[in-house]
A = this chain, B = another copy of it.
Amino acid sequence: MINHEYEVKVYYKDIDQMGFVYYSRYFEYFEAARTELLSSIGLGVSYLEKKGIYLPVITSYCKYLKAARLEQILLVKTMISSMPKSKLLINYSVFTNENHAEIANGYTEHAFMNEDKKAVKLPMIISSRLNNLKK
């Protein structure tokens, strides 16, 4: 339905003493990647928050296939492949930029929350935007 690509470079802050990207850092890469996907369809996180819409993560998953290392450039392919109902599912695949080997993949699920921090149904502003993109 919607695809987006985001590049991120690995720095010292990300690397553990095995010389690999530390496992939780992928969720930071996922967050940047989905922020850019949402921004690319006119649903930037800051914009949504100004409208009183928050997207807290309710589940997160990552499968680590290969180690990523210092100064590698990673390509995060991000996808929303189905219309959200009560929650939004986003999928991620991470590749090395040089040889396109898959490094990791995963997903996050997001609830919709209002300014009072109450769960709400899929906001119109999101559903109408996604419906327009399907066409």
Q: Is the CB of B54 within 8 A of A31?
A: no
Q: Is the CB of B54 within 8 A of A58?
A: no
Q: Is the CB of A31 within 8 A of B18?
A: no
Chain A count of residues within 8 A CB distance of the other chain: 41
Q: Is the CB of A62 within 8 A of B64?
A: no
A-B contact pairs, 29 of them (CB 8 A): A11-B28, A11-B32, A12-B16, A12-B17, A12-B22, A12-B31, A13-B16, A13-B32, A15-B16, A15-B17, A16-B16, A17-B70, A18-B113, A23-B57, A23-B60, A23-B108, A24-B25, A24-B28, A24-B60, A35-B71, A39-B71, A46-B69, A56-B67, A58-B64, A60-B61, A60-B62, A60-B64, A61-B62, A67-B117
